[in-house]
Amino acid sequence: MTKEYKELAVAALRSGTVIDHIPSHNLFKAVKILGIEKMDRAVTIGNNLESSRLGTKGIIKVADVEFDEQVINRIAIIAPHAKINIIRNYEVAEKRPVRLADTIVGIVRCPNPKCITNNEPMKTHFDVTSRQDDDVTLRCRYCGHTVESSEAIIE
């Protein structure tokens, strides 16, 4: 049943973007990071779908929108194995993984309440200090505190 729904849903998109293989527990964070709540195009969101790799996964489809690569790569922090499918005229025109940049600006909140970023109207700035499978370690450029991506609070 789940599989049928998924195939049907993907096939139904004439053009736009399908973001697949998002861990279920981070689906809505991805929605938030990409600003999908504010979009006026047709959006379909599926969650807790079967996935051989992730157990369960989430999927987002946005009609008639192709995201800028830099923008879409921002979800790599919470969905390192996500796959981006660009659909044009019912065909998958492009398929690529997301890639986490070496610096992350303005998505993750610093866990240190005494950090300047939690007290000034400013963007956070993290450097990726290590990448191990699903978990990456981020270091705040301002206060030096580190945070694991799995525990990162999304702004």
Partner 1 sequence: MNKRSLVSIDDISREEIIDLLRRAQYFEANPTHKLLDGKVVATLFFEPSTRTRLSFETAVNRLGGRVIGFSDAATSSSSKGETLKDTIKMVSNYVDLIIMRHYLEGAARYATEVTDVPIINAGDGANQHPSQTLLDLYSIYKTQGTLYDLNITMVGDLKYGRTVHSLLMAMKYFRPTFHFVACDELRMPSQYKELCDSCGIKYYEHHDFSADVIGAADILYMTRVQRERFSDLLEYERVKNLYTLRRSMLEGSKPNLRVLHPLPRVNEIDQDVDESEKAYYFEQARGGLFARQAIICRALGIDTPTLTTSIES
Residues that bind partner 1 (CB under 8 A): 112, 114-117, 119-122, 140-145
Cβ nearer to partner 1, comparing 15 with 112: 112
- With respect to partner 1, which residue has the nearer C-beta, 85 or 124? 124
Beta carbon of residue 87, minimum distance to partner 1 (angstroms, whole number): 40
Distance (Å, rounded) from C-alpha 24 to C-alpha 46?
A: 9
Handedness of CA 59, 4, 94, 43 (dihedral sign): negative
CB of 143 to partner 1, least distance (A): 4
Cβ-contact 58, 30 below 8 angstroms: yes
Residue 37 or 102: the one with the smaller Cβ distance to partner 1 is: 102
> Residue 3 or residue 121: which is nearer to partner 1 going by CB?
121
Q: How far is the CB of 121 from partner 1 (least distance, A)?
A: 6
CA pair distance 148, 137, nearest whole angstrom: 5
* Least distance between partner 1 and beta carbon 54 (Å): 32
Which residue's CB is nearer to partner 1, number 2 or number 129? 129
Q: Which residues contact 54 (CB under 8 A, 6 or more apart)?
A: 21, 23, 24, 81
Contact (CB, 8 A) for 48 and 122: no
CA distances from 12 to 9, 17, 41, 50 (A): 5, 12, 14, 19
Q: Least distance in Å: CB of 110 to partner 1?
A: 8
